[in-house]
A and B are shown apart, each in its own frame.
Chain A
Amino acid sequence: MAEKVLLKGNELLVEAAIEAGCRFFAGYPITPQNEVPETMSWRMPQAGGVFIQAESEIAAINMLFGASAAGARCMTSSSSPGISLKQEGISYITAAELPCLIVNMQRGGPGLGNIRAAQGDYFQAVKGGGHGDYRLIVLVPGTLPELYQLTMNAFDYADFYRNPVLILGDGILGQMAEPVELTPYEPILDLPPKDYVLDGCKGRPPRVVKTLYLHPTDSLVQHNLHLQEKYARIRRELNLYEEYETEDAELIVSAYGVPGRIAKGAVKMARREGIRAGLIRPLCVWPFPAAPFRKAAQTAGRFLVVEMSFGQYVEDVKLAIECRRPVAFLGKGGGWYPSQEEILEEIRRLSSKAQDPASVKGSV
Chain B
Amino acid sequence: MDFHRPETLKDAPTHYCPGCGHGIVHRLVAEVIDELGIRQRTIGTAPVGCAVLLYDYFNCDIIECAHGRPPAVATGIKRMLPDRILFTYQGDGDLAAIGTAETIHAANRGENITVIFVNNAIYGMTGGQMAPTTMIGQWSTTTPDGRGQYAEGGPIKVCEMLSALDGVCYLERVSVSSPKDVMNARKAIKKAFENQIAEKGFSLVEVLSMCPTDWKLPPEKAMDFVNEKMKKVFPLGVYKDRSGGRHE
B101 contacts A by Cβ under 8 Å: yes
| Interfacial chain B residues near A24, Cβ < 8 Å | 76, 79-80
Interface size band for B: 35 or more
B-contact bits for A69-108, CB 8 A (1 contact / 0 none): 1111010000000000000110010000000000000000
Q: How far is the CA of A63 from the CA of B78 in the complex (A)?
A: 10
B-contact bits for A201-237, CB 8 A (1 contact / 0 none): 1110011111110100000000000000000000000
Interface of B is mostly: helix
A-B contact count (CB 8 A): 128
| Interfacial chain A residues near B63, Cβ < 8 Å | 65-66, 69, 198, 208-210
B188 contacts A by Cβ under 8 Å: no
Task: Report if A59-B55 is in contact (Cβ < 8 Å); known contacts: A24-B79, A198-B77.
Answer: no
Cross-chain contact A55 with B61 (CB below 8 angstroms): no
Which chain A residue shows the least CB distance to B48?
A212
- B85–chain A nearest beta-carbon distance, Å: 8
B-contact bits for A123-143, CB 8 A (1 contact / 0 none): 000000000000000000000
A-contact bits for B11-42, CB 8 A (1 contact / 0 none): 00000000000000000000000000001111
Q: Determine which of A50, A60, A88, A207 lies in contact with B79 in the assembled complex, contact meaning CB atoms within 8 Å.
A: A50
Cross-chain contact A201 with B61 (CB below 8 angstroms): yes
Q: How far is the CA of A72 from the CA of B63 in the complex (A)?
A: 15
Q: How far is the CA of A214 from the CA of B77 in the complex (A)?
A: 26
Cross-chain contact B105 with A199 (CB below 8 angstroms): no
A330 contacts B by Cβ under 8 Å: no
Q: How far is the CA of A24 from the CA of B78 in the complex (A)?
A: 12
B182 contacts A by Cβ under 8 Å: no
Cross-chain contact A69 with B62 (CB below 8 angstroms): no
Q: Determine which of B39, B53, B60, B74 lies in contact with A66 in the assembled complex, contact meaning CB atoms within 8 Å.
A: B74
Q: How far is the CA of A52 from the CA of B72 in the complex (A)?
A: 11
Cross-chain contact B105 with A67 (CB below 8 angstroms): no
Q: How far is the CA of A62 from the CA of B59 in the complex (A)?
A: 24
Task: Report if A212-B52 is in contact (Cβ < 8 Å); known contacts: A65-B69, A198-B61, A200-B43.
Answer: yes
Q: Determine which of A55, A208, A211 lies in contact with B101 in the assembled complex, contact meaning CB atoms within 8 Å.
A: A55
Cross-chain contact B64 with A201 (CB below 8 angstroms): no
- A184–chain B nearest beta-carbon distance, Å: 24
Cross-chain contact B77 with A62 (CB below 8 angstroms): no
Cross-chain contact B64 with A199 (CB below 8 angstroms): no
Which chain B residue shows the least CB distance to A69?
B63
Cross-chain contact B60 with A210 (CB below 8 angstroms): no
Cross-chain contact B81 with A212 (CB below 8 angstroms): no
Please list the 4 inter-chain residue pairs (A to B) with the smallest Cβ-Cβ separation, ordered nearest first: A66-B76, A62-B72, A200-B41, A55-B105
For this complex, 25 residue pairs linking A to B, each with C-beta atoms less than 8 Å apart, are: A23-B80, A50-B79, A52-B75, A55-B102, A55-B104, A58-B69, A58-B102, A59-B72, A59-B105, A62-B72, A63-B72, A63-B79, A70-B76, A89-B69, A198-B63, A198-B77, A201-B39, A201-B60, A209-B64, A210-B55, A210-B63, A210-B64, A211-B64, A212-B52, A212-B64
Interface residues of B (CB under 8 A from A): 39-43, 46, 52-53, 55, 58-66, 69, 72-81, 84-85, 101-102, 104-105
